[in-house]
């Protein structure tokens, strides 16, 4: 029996998709909010959650593989991870916005929960 294993392809190759999601997570960590399409937001959310959880546990090497930006890496370990130390999960929230004017794509705001 064939099972659906992958996530959304987002119209990109595997390497392009990986880079896109990594850049979205980096922007989320720096600015604590990102406006993007709902499909990208839903695909990005588990990656961001995993990275924050690993930062809480102090797993620097695993986080460094995904987050290349030094500013985002420092902020993650100095500000974000301590903020969620007592929270068991659910660090991000996707809020649906209006559609984009150019192509009518459904937009969403991804933000870190306070």
The mean pLDDT value of the chain amounts to: 95
Minimal CA–CA distance to 25: which of 78, 100, 101, 80? Answer: 80
Rounded to whole angstroms, how far apart are CA atoms 35 and 15? Answer: 22
Burial class (CB in 10 A: 0-12, 13-18, 19+), 85: exposed
Structure confidence at residue 5 (pLDDT): 78
In the predicted model, residues of the chain with pLDDT beneath 70 are none
Given this model, what pLDDT does residue 7 score? 86
Q: Which pLDDT does position 80 carry in this prediction? A: 97
In contact, 110 and 45? CB cutoff 8 Å:
yes
Domain 14-112 listed as CATH 3.90.1030.10: yes
pTM for the structure as a whole: 0.91
Domain boundaries of the chain, sorted by first residue: 14-112
């Amino acid at each position: 029996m064939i099972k659906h294993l992958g996530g959304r392809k987002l119209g990109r190759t595997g390497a392009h998709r990986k880079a896109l999601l990594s850049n979205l997570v980096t922007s989320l960590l720096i600015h604590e909010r990102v406006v993007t399409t709902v499909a990208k937001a839903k695909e990005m959310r588990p990656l961001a959650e995993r990275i924050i959880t690993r930062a809480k546990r102090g797993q620097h090497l695993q986080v460094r593989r995904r987050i290349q930006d030094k500013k985002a890496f420092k902020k993650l370990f100095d500000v974000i991870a301590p903020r969620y130390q007592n929270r068991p999960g659910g660090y991000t929230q996707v809020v649906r916005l209006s559609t984009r004017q150019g192509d009518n794509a459904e937009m969403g705001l991804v933000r870190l929960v306070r």
